[in-house]
Amino acid sequence: MTAKLPREFADLEPFVADWCLPTEPERYDKRLASPMDDMQTYYDAITPRAEAAMTYLDRYSLDDMPEEAVNLLYMLYSMIMVSFPVECWHQQRIPDSGAAHIDCLVAPVP
C-alpha cells in the first residue's frame, strides 16, 4: 500500500480513505452521512496532530505542494468540517436551523 500522507503523519493513514476529500461539498456530505462516533474517532485522532500538520504544510506554497501534503491539507479541512458537530452540537446538522447547507464559492485549492 502506497502512503498517501507524509511519513510524519503515518498514524493518520487509516483515516485517508474516509476523510481525505478534495472538495467542500464532499466533506459536508461525509459529515452528514457519518455517525457521530466516526466523526469523534477521526476528530480525536487528528486534532492533537493539527498544529504539527500546519507547521509541516507551512513549508510549501499552495501552488507547489507535493501530493502527500495536499492530502494532509484535505485531512485538516475535514477536521474543521467535523469540529463543530463534535465540539458543540453533538450531531451532524446545525441544530435549530432547519435545512442548512454550506455553499463554499471560493476555497483555497493547492
- Asked whether the predicted pLDDT for residue 102 surpasses 60, the reply is no
**Mean pLDDT over residues 24-48, rounded?**
95
The candidate with the shortest Cα–Cα distance to 85, out of 96, 75, 76, 94, is: 94
For the whole model, what pTM was predicted? 0.82
Residue type, 50: A
- Asked whether the predicted pLDDT for residue 98 surpasses 80, the reply is no
Specify if 22 maps to a domain.
Answer: yes
Specify if 6 maps to a domain.
Answer: no
Specify if 107 maps to a domain.
Answer: no
The region that residue 46 occupies, defined by phi over 0 for left and psi between -120 and 50 for alpha, beta otherwise, is alpha
How many whole angstroms separate alpha carbon 80 and alpha carbon 74? 10
How many C-beta atoms lie closer than 10 Å to residue 40's C-beta? 15
Specify if 99 maps to a domain.
Answer: no
Specify if 41 maps to a domain.
Answer: yes
**Number of domains comprising the chain:** 1
Specify if 110 maps to a domain.
Answer: no
Specify if 95 maps to a domain.
Answer: no
Specify if 80 maps to a domain.
Answer: yes
Domain that holds residue 62: 14-89
pLDDT given at position 108: 59
